[in-house]
Amino acid sequence: MTPKRRLRKSQQPTLAAQEAQAPYLAGNETALLFSSAELAATGNRESAALAIRIFKRANRPIASRTARTGTFIDNLKLPVHRWFRYSAGFSAQWVQSVLVENKSRSLFDPFAGSGTALLAADTFGIASAGTESHPFVHRIAQAKMGWDFEPQELHTAANELTALAKAMKPVLAREPESLITRIYSPETLGKLERLRLAHGKLVTQDYSPEIINLLWLAITSILRSCSFVGTAQWQYVLPNKTKSREREPLAAYQEVIAQMLEDRSRIRLEGWSRRSAIVAHDAREPFALGGGRRFDTVITSPPYPNNYDYADATRLEMTFWKDITGWADLQQTVRRHLMHSCSQHTAAERLKLADLLADPVLDPIRKDLSIVCQQLAEVRLTKGGKKTYHTMIAAYFKDLAHVFYNLRAITAPGATVCFVIGDSAPYGIHVPAEKWLGELALAAGFGKWRFEKLRDRNIKWENRVHDVPLHEGNLWIEG
């Protein structure tokens, strides 16, 4: 048997780094079960000290229920979550606080994204399931769900991939005018291409699917930081803006692998238990969970009705991996699987407003929704872009109405449901998202709803196109 590789001291998590994770373990009895054998196996006195400090903090409150709910920034300090920055996510520590407060026994997330809520449940060993319809984001989440990998296998596979990449001859460049050739220097692109091809060779080797996915994620996570143009994580690519520094691909890749190995050590000490599962599924369609399974907690954040194109946000990564050849492929490859939250989607499908508003699921809000959509239909004719916001808004609420009916079928009586949501004002016409969604939830069979405002939006940007005050918060729905 191949002996397990001990991490170098420089790669071992420091006590300070591990202790930073301790506050969200309060109330998690599983996480406090450190046997003497486990502590001895680490060969690290700091591990024993960490266990004692976590135990002493067991009765302290974890993250505030309302603190920084709608932001992913705090997750960048947490193991596994930090492997890929998914800016559309929310705070994992906030999810943990909700699970503890509600004494949750099961969790469901219909818009699982990169797996934030499911990973939060794993820290407590709570059974969870989620769906994600964006094929590329689903793969990111699936890779992160493999956090309980065998460290020696990842170490061996990562080193083999590096050796393969270094041994390869220079590869042929891509099309001169492609997105990829415009955002990387020739030298950087050559190194990234060799990493991609080396990963393709490892797929045929005798490594577990979890390890192959983690290597894929490691390469994916460095693509933006290795570019010299404006590529803020999970935002649109800005080829006309440049960064002061670009990272060297092989070094960046090795740093991510080291981080994964470090996090594996940390979460072993913290007592995570993998009871999560994610499937590629469109939440607008009924959930096929089997066995009449019902969940007592739902925590999620659907796309906001603000015209953000989640398909285009992954164009860099999907083009690099050759999942698509360019922007024109996004509708068929990605958008058709997603909720209607951007005008590019509804324009491509040539949706008709009258047909959308006629759907019976919109009965509770049809009157008010029709007024707003008609205003948008008229205003768009005075605008240069003539964006299809009128059909986008109608399709958006139709989609979520179906999601609520599907959720009602798999949630237990008295379940707690939380949607992190924000309103919008396309062309300056206000769309009261939380009010309409609350009414749709009641029509689907839920008991009551309330909105907890967390922050104001549309107040910072000098170049904003309207001055309608917007906000973001938690839509709490009771079963």
For 11-69, the pLDDT digits (tens) are: 333 333 333 333 323 333 333 233 333 333 334 444 444 444 333 333 333 444 444 55
Q: Please give the order of strands across the beta sheet that includes 106-109.
A: 276-280, 127-132, 106-109, 295-300, 411-422, 470-478, 448-457
Report pLDDT for 293. 83
Which runs of consecutive H residues, i.e. helices, occur in 271-388?
Answer: 315-320, 330-333, 343-349, 353-357, 366-379
Query: Which position has the token pair 């309980």?
Result: 148
Per-residue pLDDT band for 76 (boundaries 50, 70, 90) equals confident
pTM (predicted TM-score): 0.84
Tell me the pLDDT tens digit for each residue of 207-236.
999 999 999 999 999 999 999 987 655 455
* H or E element, residue 421: strand 411-422
Per-residue pLDDT band for 175 (boundaries 50, 70, 90) equals confident
Per-residue pLDDT band for 101 (boundaries 50, 70, 90) equals very high
Separation between Cα atoms, residue 73 and residue 320, nearest integer Å: 26
Per-residue pLDDT band for 462 (boundaries 50, 70, 90) equals low
Which runs of consecutive H residues, i.e. helices, occur in 365-418?
Answer: 366-379, 389-408
Contacts with 204 (C-beta within 8 Å, 6 or more apart), sequence order: none
Lowest mean pLDDT among 48-52, 78-82, 186-190, 296-300: 48-52
Domain boundaries, the chain: 1-64, 151-261, 302-478
Per-residue pLDDT band for 88 (boundaries 50, 70, 90) equals confident
* H or E element, residue 98: helix 92-101
Residue 61 CB neighbours (<10 A): 13
Average pLDDT over residues 415-443: 97
Count Cβ neighbours within 10 Å for each residue of 263-276 and write b for 16 or more, e otherwise. Answer: bbbbbbbbbbbbbb
